Amino acid sequence: MKLKSTFKNLATLLVLIITSSVFAQDGFQGQATYMSKTTMDMDNFGGRELSPERKKMIMERMKTMLEKTFILDFNKTESTYKEDEALEAPGGGRGFMMGGMAAGTIYKNVKENLLLQDQEFFGKQFLIKDSLVKLDWKMSGESKQIGKYTAFKATATKKVDAADWTNMRRRGNDKDKKEDDKKEVAELKKDSTKTDAPKDPFEDIEIPEEIEVTAWYTMDIPVNSGPGEYWGLPGLILEVNAGRTTILCSKIVMNPSDKNEIKKPSKGKEVSMEEYQDTVKKKMEEMREMFRSRGGRGRN
């Protein structure tokens, strides 16, 4: 029994030595593939006026925006995260997103505390340069298996920026609001002098100030990185659940023979994250005023 236990300990030690030597290499690099999926509740975006068939058609058309594949190339201190170009929809445009935004590469450098992101917004190219935002992660003893890796749970509260359309929701979306909606519909049926619904779609939509984030990371790959803007845990983040979005790692290749260069984005007008968010807010307000001036009719 002692001999068996000794062999087991030696095997564990050997694995640790091999793993440590791999990550200690100067040229170490890894590549992780992530599947990102965002759900949208049509019932909370005026969906009650749409037929089930219409809702299904809209969701099918939005699928290319809501389901994407990303590649994270990382080393000990740097990473780049971008959409898998090989899987882009024909004619869909690079990284097309709602509201005239096209997301490019997200570059993180944990040693320099640097975030760089190239972002297209309504035909203008921006280079967002700012410090990394470190979430106040709360560790949990909970663990689970993701592929061949043991992953541990961590949670945090994240502030939501004005450009994050994935977290848009109906204003006051809770049980009390739903009850109020039922009463409103009943009143509308009784009183034909009332209008059906707000003509301004922005009045019915809000972006929450904060959302809860759950991450699962593995210490089997001891790098301080993860998908998108997420980082700050003692191992590679394999899964993220934030608001309506789930990001799950489906494949990891350590020291791939064909490495992608991890380089800083450089194109676009350099702005801070706050400056970029102000630009988005102003554009959204401009669109809202334009909609109002047309009486909610859109383009003629």
Q: Is residue 51 part of a domain?
A: yes
Q: Is residue 13 part of a domain?
A: no
Cβ neighbours for 147, distance < 8 A, ≥ 6 positions apart: 238, 249, 252
Q: Is residue 2 part of a domain?
A: no
Query: Residue 169: which pLDDT band, with cuts at 50, 70 and 90?
Result: low
Q: Is residue 185 part of a domain?
A: no
* Overall domain count for the chain: 1
Min mean pLDDT across 131-140, 161-170, 171-180 is at 171-180
**Is the pLDDT assigned to residue 15 strictly greater than 60?**
no
Q: Is residue 52 part of a domain?
A: yes
Beta strand pairing call for 124-131 and 269-271: parallel
For position 270, what pLDDT does the model report? Answer: 96
Q: Please work out, in degrees rounded to the nearest 5, the angle formed at the alpha carbon of residue 58 by the alpha carbons of 57 and 59.
A: 90
Per-residue pLDDT tens digits for 109-119:
999 999 999 98
**Alpha carbon of 52 to those of 55, 204, 261: distances in Å?**
5, 21, 46
Q: Is residue 283 part of a domain?
A: yes
pTM over 0.95: no
Tell which wins on pLDDT, 116 or 259.
116
For position 237, what pLDDT does the model report? Answer: 98
What residues make up the domain containing 282? 29-168+207-293
CA distance 168 to 208: 7
CB 107 within 8 A of CB 265: yes
Q: Is residue 298 part of a domain?
A: no
In sequence order, what E strands does the chain have?
A: 30-38, 67-74, 78-83, 96-97, 101-109, 114-121, 124-131, 138-146, 149-159, 169-170, 205-206, 210-218, 236-242, 245-254, 269-271
Tell which wins on pLDDT, 199 or 165.
165
Q: Is residue 15 part of a domain?
A: no
- Is residue 62 within a helix (H) or strand (E), and if so which, with residue range? helix 52-66
CA distance 44 to 37: 18
Question: At residue 212, what is the residue type?
Answer: E
* CATH code assigned at 282: 2.50.20
Written as one string, the DSSP assignment of 25-46 is: -TT--EEEEEEEEE---GGGTT
